[in-house]
Structure 1
Amino acid sequence: MGRLIWMASYPKSGNTWMRAYLHNLLRNPQQAYDINRLGEFSFSDSTIAFYKPYLTKPSQDWTSLEVMETRWKAQRDIGRMSTDDVFVKTHNAHVEFEGLPMIQMDLTAGAIYIVRNPLDVCISLADHYGSTLDEAIDVMADPRNGTKTGDQLVFEIHKDWSTHVLSWTNAPGPWLHVARYEDMLKKPLVTFTRVARFLGLNPERSRIERAIQASSFENLRGQEDQKGFRERSYKAEKFFRVGKADQWRTALSKAQVDRVVETHKQQMERFGYWPL
């Protein structure tokens, strides 16, 4: 049985990009790894199939407590899918709900946490959810924020952006590696090499460079344009929308910037997003 390596982030912060990089690095394919096959190599802790063996009622009848009591079993079963450590994508905050943990640390080998400037997150989030910027800013400030159980995924607990970030990064140690989205853009070789080193890997520079190129925004967007992306929200025109930093400087009003900063200034300062 393998242990879990979490790829964690608040939604729309670069999680899928990191997954694509790791798939290309570890699989080392001749061509860029198919974005619609990411689920064959890394798994989501919210995938409903991991819960159904233990909850025989229709999923719409599952209580939140029943789902929480099943999370440990679901995460254990993900680990059982390989004798090696297993990569698991999550947007859940590292918190307790219904008195039980969202993330099972006894099954965990480590975590890669991707953090992104909330001023840019709200823009991507608005597009993803088909909402206004003000609505996205409200969502990111809501400590009750999360999703509901549906046909494909069980509910998630996101909390507000600051709580999410703090929940994963307030206890740094050798089990955790934090990568900034902006550094993935501006310093890709350094940033992605550090991710490989964190995983105990020592690939040749040329292999890392190939993985970076194969998982570049242009490549990911090109694949989506050609054959679509199954993880795209039906409310969004594209999943891989822009792939840039500092969009907020032209997209947000001063009042909107002030609202985000007022709510999240402490965590923004920790990660170099404040002062602006």
Structure 2
Amino acid sequence: MDTPQQKEDKISPQAKWWVDGQRIRYKGFWFKLEFITASEAIRAHYTPLPSDIILASFPKTGTTWLKALTSSILRHSSPLSSSSKDLDYLNPHEIVPFLEIEIFGENPSKDITEISCPSVFSTHLPLSFLPETVKTSGCRVIYITRHPADTFVSLWHLYNKFGTEISIRQAFDEFCKGLVPAGPYFEHVLEFWEARDRVMFVTYEDLKANPEETVRRIAEFLGCKIIVEKIVKECSFEKLKNTSKERGEGVHWSGTKYDMFFRKGVVGDWKNHLTQEMMKELEDLADLKWRGSGLDLNIFNRSASQ
């Protein structure tokens, strides 16, 4: 295993996405050193229980929405659930902690032994950064992803708020090279896609096109009986966004105000930012990276019922 110094030697100094901290290339992915250290702690000390639920995602692909839906499903199916906190008063990120931050980070704010069952965690780490027991313990893993074009645009907007001062063309080029936080995107998605015999694979587009059916699938995967329409209404983009606004100056561990997690929440916003040539580059890259896996961009054009 690489020493911290060997990891430091893999720093990419030229990437302008690193406004909130330098990233290091580790196992093919770009993360802050503290997240790499946390991933090693997770692999060494985290043994998932069969009742555990892990919500995995690449940044800006529907993480907040999936946290809200899962929390709501558990709350309505069992009043005793550890995720029974009300979304009327809390941001989803306050309810579901990140494994690599609140649980195993440099300054963890939560003790894993004190979280009641079923425990729900989230992560932006690739599957290869998690313990092998995630695949064998019987815990349930849900991975949400989003079309790469909309993922890029949403990520670019978020980092502009952090002061990246990076042009969309340069940001796009670096995204395609994988030089973005938690990148490369295509490899991140592929790892979970290839494990979908054990992982529930959900797309943001499915949730937008057919929320009731997708929520029903998630609830069945979690073994929960719910009133689907109630969950969909409670976790609508508008309601979650308004709750975050009402929270005022609340700040997430990343330094991001809670209301910054909500922008447009639409599908196809890339058309307002990317040229057809840029889109063609993404299509060609997806074909190259995912060739032979059975995964392609058509997955983002299907409804959950298909």
Normalising by structure 2, we get a TM-score of 0.65
Q: Contact 2:244 / 2:259 at 8 angstroms: preserved in 1?
A: no
Give the structure, 1 or 2, with the largest relative contact order (CA under 8 Å, sep 6 or more): 1
Report Cα offsets for 1:215-270 as digits up to 9, x if no partner.
11101111222224533765998320001101122321122212222222344436
Question: In structure 2, which of residues 166, 172, 175 is the aligned counterpart of residue 140 of structure 1?
Answer: 175
Partner of 2:297: 269
1:47 is paired with a residue of what secondary structure?
A: helix
In structure 2, list runs of 5 or more residues that go unmatched.
Answer: 1-47, 77-83, 161-165
What is the alpha-carbon distance in structure 1 between the residues aligned to residue 75 and residue 140 of structure 2?
20
Question: In structure 2, which of residues 112, 117, 121 is the aligned counterpart of residue 84 of structure 1?
Answer: 117
Partner of 1:106: 133
Alignment root-mean-square deviation, CA: 3.0
Q: Quote how far apart the aligned CAs of 1:145 are.
A: 4.3
Q: Contact 2:145 / 2:202 at 8 angstroms: preserved in 1?
A: yes
Cα distance, 1:227–1:13 mapped onto 2, change above 3 Å? same
Q: Quote how far apart the aligned CAs of 1:123 are.
A: 0.8
Are 2:204 and 1:181 equivalent residues in the alignment? yes
Q: Contact 2:63 / 2:144 at 8 angstroms: preserved in 1?
A: yes
Cα distance, 1:48–1:86 mapped onto 2, change above 3 Å? closer
Aligned length, in residue pairs: 229
Fraction of identical pairs, as percent: 24
Partner of 2:18: none
Cα distance, 1:166–1:132 mapped onto 2, change above 3 Å? same
What is the alpha-carbon distance in structure 1 between the residues aligned to residue 177 and residue 70 of structure 2?
32
Cα distance, 1:112–1:236 mapped onto 2, change above 3 Å? closer
Q: Quote how far apart the aligned CAs of 1:43 are.
A: 1.8
Which amino acid is the alignment partner of residue 142 of structure 1?
K
Cα distance, 1:6–1:133 mapped onto 2, change above 3 Å? farther
Q: Contact 2:145 / 2:203 at 8 angstroms: preserved in 1?
A: yes
1:179 is paired with a residue of what secondary structure?
A: strand
Are 2:177 and 1:129 equivalent residues in the alignment? no
Q: Quote how far apart the aligned CAs of 1:12 are.
A: 0.2
Partner of 1:93: 126
What is the alpha-carbon distance in structure 1 between the residues aligned to residue 296 and residue 59 of structure 2?
16
Question: In structure 2, which of residues 74, 94, 97 is the aligned counterpart of residue 39 of structure 1?
Answer: 94
Q: Quote how far apart the aligned CAs of 1:273 are.
A: 5.0
What is the alpha-carbon distance in structure 1 between the residues aligned to residue 255 and residue 282 of structure 2?
24
Question: In structure 2, which of residues 217, 220, 223 is the aligned counterpart of residue 200 of structure 1?
Answer: 223
